[in-house]
Amino acid sequence: MISGIQIRAGRALLGWDQAKLAEVAGVSIITVKRLEAAGEEIHAQFATVMKVKSAFEKAGVLFLGEESGLGYGVRLRNLTRRGSRKRPAKSQT
């Protein structure tokens, strides 16, 4: 499960405000505020938390758990830029 701290951090990585997250996740702004205010332990409907987590993951945010050895956190996945050219393969001569 994710924490309110991770939700705030995920928004910061993406440059999203609470309204943008609410829109993308399909939840209300009040719900986003409540989830973020929960801190480390979110007490909310599982489906609601999964909507928020899914919205972040589709945008490239990875959630790190304590099993990573570094504690809870978030990270932005290295997304391939749309429309960018691929590097040419090295020739073998």
Are 72 and 6 contacting, i.e. CB atoms less than 8 angstroms apart?
yes
Structure tokens at 2: 């994710």
Contacts for 20 with CB less than 8 Å, ≥ 6 apart: 11
Domains and CATH numbers, the chain: 4-76 (1.10.260.40)
Q: Would you give per-residue pLDDT tens digits along the chain (93 residues)? A: 899 999 999 999 999 999 999 999 999 999 999 999 998 888 899 999 999 999 999 999 999 887 767 777 899 988 655 444 444 455 555
Q: What is the pLDDT of residue 78?
A: 80
Structure pTM?
0.77
Decide: residue 79, CB within 10 A, 0-12 exposed, 13-18 middle, 19+ buried: exposed
Q: What is the pLDDT of residue 22?
A: 98
